[in-house]
Amino acid sequence: MDLTTSGHAAALWVGLNLLLLLLLSGLVVRVRQKHKIALGDGGIPELARAIRTFGNATEYVPTGMAALAVLAIVNASVAAIHIVGLLLFAGRLIHAVGLFNTGGASVPRALGIVLTWLGYLFAAVVLLLYAIA
């Protein structure tokens, strides 16, 4: 796979984030089946965490993927796209692990959100620089 063009670089990270969303969705289904809960969380903490883990990812990942797509459209540097993609994907993955394993505050949750926000910030700065250049 050639990841030397902005479109190919963005495709890598969008694809990985889609797989992450699919994995988290599958986790919700697995926990629902385990506890025979079709709707809501049934008061089961494990299911509530799985639902929030997926929900939290769906709150952040689409915006990050949109940023990656626009970076590719403006032909941003491959390095910039990989930085944004890595920060977003790693942030969401680490946050998901932390949130699923504990409903409370944790280092992985904090690290995950910081990485995600850094990805957002970096993407915003690069996009603004392309907008005014």
For residue range 30-62, what is the model confidence (pLDDT) as tens digits? 999 999 999 999 999 999 999 999 999 999 999
| pLDDT value of residue 3 | 65
* Nearest Cα residue to 50 out of 90, 107, 99: 99
- For residue 34, being part of any structural domain is answered with yes
Contact by Cβ (8 Å): 69, 88: no
Contact by Cβ (8 Å): 27, 20: no
What's the CATH number where 20 sits? 1.20.120.550
Domain containing residue 118: 6-128
**Inter-axis angle of helices 45-73 and 107-132, nearest 10:** 20
Number of domains in the chain: 1
- For residue 58, being part of any structural domain is answered with yes
Across the range 2-12, mean pLDDT stands at: 87
pTM of the model: 0.91
- For residue 1, being part of any structural domain is answered with no
Across the range 108-114, mean pLDDT stands at: 96
